[in-house]
């Protein structure tokens, strides 16, 4: 099959900083024209991977292919990618319109033409009315949309986003998630978004790539990664799961399928450590044999019909089909 211009692939990509291995021979073919989240803890290699794709970090070994051509030695502007930085990096002395048009000015495009193109981008991100403002006259969400428009004016084949929501307050972060998702679908290009926020990745991604210790630990659809984590790390990092050691091996069990019952009436016995009311549900933190923590998420009505308190001895049970065997 001939590669389309939007196909992005990493081939045994490695990044070393001196003796430190930041990315270890990572290979992955990204789903074309989809929203992909690189998810993982600080230091896992996700930002180094993004910056190598963008051309802001050199590749120690391996190749980065876009549309079937190796772009790993090209200048950032020649790659067909565009990067939106975490701090937005707007020019404080330029208006919104001139910030968006800046890359076209550097290419020598006439003022009328670059302002027309910048105006189209501002319309796309719903900022036409603010085109004459300076960056310090904008809210955080507005600055983010200016940075988006500035990245998109280059008509990239893939847009790279480095933790683009981290500087926003929680309410705006949720609103901007839906705007990013809508924009990606409208443009029909690939978005590759680095985050350490599990909720963010689950809300946005067609594909989640979980990185840990410089390698890809698991990749798949958001639902697949959440429901069938392959390793203990993924089960714990993606959230919402318990890792429980059974005689037949370690399994992952979602917290919302664990049912508290009377002592000696479940699969395992447990001691209640803490009870947290969370509105629609109640979170019951317990300890089982070996001091392992197991959480049960119970609908509020079910909990208050049969409440438990810290110190109570209870049983925990779940259906066999709800436990997922971990490979490591």
For the stretch 167-197, pLDDT in tens is: 788 888 888 898 899 999 999 999 999 999 9
| pLDDT at position 1 | 47
Section 303-316 average pLDDT: 94
Phi, psi of 89 (to 5 degrees): 50, 45
Question: Whose structure tokens read 């992952």?
Answer: 252
Question: Whose structure tokens read 């209870």?
Answer: 314
Residue with the larger pLDDT of the pair 170 and 61: 61
Q: Which helix (H) or strand (E) holds 103?
A: helix 96-106
| pLDDT at position 3 | 55
For CA atoms 47, 51, 56, 60, give the dihedral sign: positive
Determine the Cα–Cα distance for residues 286 and 308; give it in Å rounded to an integer. 11
Q: What percent of the chain has pLDDT over 90?
A: 77
Residue 324 scores a pLDDT above 60 = yes
Section 32-37 average pLDDT: 94
Section 122-145 average pLDDT: 91
For residue 102, CA distances in Å to 133, 147, 211 come to 15, 11, 34
Q: Which helix (H) or strand (E) holds 38?
A: strand 35-39
Determine the Cα–Cα distance for residues 73 and 3; give it in Å rounded to an integer. 19
Q: What is the three-class DSSP state of 229?
A: coil
| pLDDT at position 211 | 97
| pLDDT at position 195 | 94
Assigned token pair, 150? 């500035």
**CB 278, CB 240: distance < 8 Å:** no
Residue 2 scores a pLDDT above 60 = no
Question: Whose structure tokens read 């004459």?
Answer: 132
Residue 289 scores a pLDDT above 90 = no
Section 81-92 average pLDDT: 88
SS3 content of the chain, % helix, strand, coil (to 5): 30, 35, 35
In the structure, how many helices (H) and strands (E) does the chain have?
9, 18
For residue 254, CA distances in Å to 65, 235, 317 come to 37, 9, 12
**CB 201, CB 208: distance < 8 Å:** yes
Query: What is the average pLDDT score of the chain?
Result: 92
* Strand partners for 13: 26
Its pTM stands at 0.89
Residue with the larger pLDDT of the pair 249 and 242: 242
Residue 83 scores a pLDDT above 60 = yes
| pLDDT at position 175 | 86
Cβ contacts of residue 310 below 8 Å, gap of 6+?
272, 273, 274, 275
């Amino acid at each position: 099959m001939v590669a389309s211009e939007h196909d992005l692939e990493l081939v045994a990509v490695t990044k070393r900083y001196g003796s430190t291995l930041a990315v270890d021979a990572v290979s992955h073919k990204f789903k074309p024209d989809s929203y992909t989240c690189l998810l993982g803890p600080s230091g896992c290699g996700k930002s180094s991977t993004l910056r190598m794709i963008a051309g802001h970090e050199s590749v120690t070994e391996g190749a980065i292919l876009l549309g079937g051509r190796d772009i790993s030695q090209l200048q950032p502007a020649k790659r067909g990618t565009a990067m939106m930085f975490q701090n937005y990096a707007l020019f404080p002395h330029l208006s919104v319109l001139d910030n968006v048009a800046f890359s076209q000015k550097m290419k020598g495009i006439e003022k009328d033409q670059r302002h027309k193109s910048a105006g189209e981008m501002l319309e796309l991100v719903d900022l036409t009315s603010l085109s004459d403002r300076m960056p310090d006259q904008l809210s955080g969400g507005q600055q983010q949309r200016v940075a988006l428009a500035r990245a998109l004016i280059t008509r990239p084949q893939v847009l790279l986003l480095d933790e683009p929501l981290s500087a926003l307050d929680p309410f705006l972060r949720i609103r901007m998630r839906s705007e990013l998702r809508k924009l990606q679908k409208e443009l029909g290009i690939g978005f590759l978004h680095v985050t350490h926020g599990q909720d963010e990745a689950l809300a946005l991604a067609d594909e989640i790539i979980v990185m840990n210790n410089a390698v890809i630990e698991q990749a798949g659809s958001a639902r697949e990664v959440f429901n069938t984590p392959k390793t203990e790390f993924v089960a714990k990092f993606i959230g919402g799961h318990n890792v429980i050691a059974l005689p037949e091996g370690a399994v992952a069990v979602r917290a919302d399928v664990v049912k508290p019952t009377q002592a000696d009436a479940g699969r395992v016995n447990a001691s209640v450590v803490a009870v947290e009311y969370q509105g629609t549900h109640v979170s019951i933190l317990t300890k089982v044999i070996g001091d392992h923590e197991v959480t049960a998420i119970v609908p509020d009505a079910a909990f208050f019909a049969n409440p438990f308190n810290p110190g109570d001895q209870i049983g925990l049970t779940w259906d066999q089909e709800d436990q997922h065997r971990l490979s490591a």
